[in-house]
Structure 1
Amino acid sequence: MVSPFSLVRWGGPLGPRFVSGWTSRRVSLPEAEAEALHLYSYQVFKQKGSGEYALTYLLAPEVVFMYGDSDWMDAKAGKAAADAMQRSGGRSRFRIVSNAGHHLYLDNYEEFNRYVDRVLADVERET
């Protein structure tokens, strides 16, 4: 029952600094907007954990690995994980979203939404 957000909660007075560092490295915004994002993110992340603990169960039916084409995360690792899951009989998909960093749902929401809609339609057809 530990998640990356646990660090924010356990960080006490350092929690806002953890969040500020995280948001600064991942999103480039004008100063006022960046400060608003830092404050908002901290308020969300410091709340009692809930859905973050459920990800293992939520992702069990089918896992979709999506990365932005300029994501800071290693897309090769996601591709390898998706391939390994498929080889072992699991269901997974892999997608690179163009013109996007790590927050692809913001950076290129149109392509992201189209792909998610397609995945959901496929899952609905199969059930």
Structure 2
Amino acid sequence: MAHRVKIYNETQGVEEKTIDPLIVRAAEELKYDHSLYFASDPATVVLPLDHLILSRAREKGIRNAVALMAKAADGKIERRKPVEVVAESMGYFRVVDGNSTATIATAAGWIDLPCIVVEEEGSEPLAQSPM
């Protein structure tokens, strides 16, 4: 099964991208337990991954995210803040901080992710519905 993420592109709208199989294999080693990777925050809401749309997908950032999440789970570095998202139409959320983390969670087969819904100054709604 191919692991795919939705990415918003200003010129082409929402498109899907397949996650590199090598990243998927590495991500599948991460245990599904939010408390291992994310710091607690009272504003946190847990959102389904299939309702998140990435703002970008940088290969280098995605590769680094696997290692950083593993280090956080082992207690070698601090856990990261929840992923920041902006509410969009039809129950979807655009990731503004934590795109690589959301990609890794998708690759690992997780169903949801801790998020903080923020208001982005000057943000525009998505130009099209996200599939």
Q: With the length of structure 1 as denominator, give the TM-score of the two structures.
A: 0.27
Return the index of the structure with the highest Cα Rg. 1
The structure that is strand-richer by fraction is 2
Question: More relative contact order in 1 or in 2 (CA 8 Å, sep 6+)?
Answer: 2
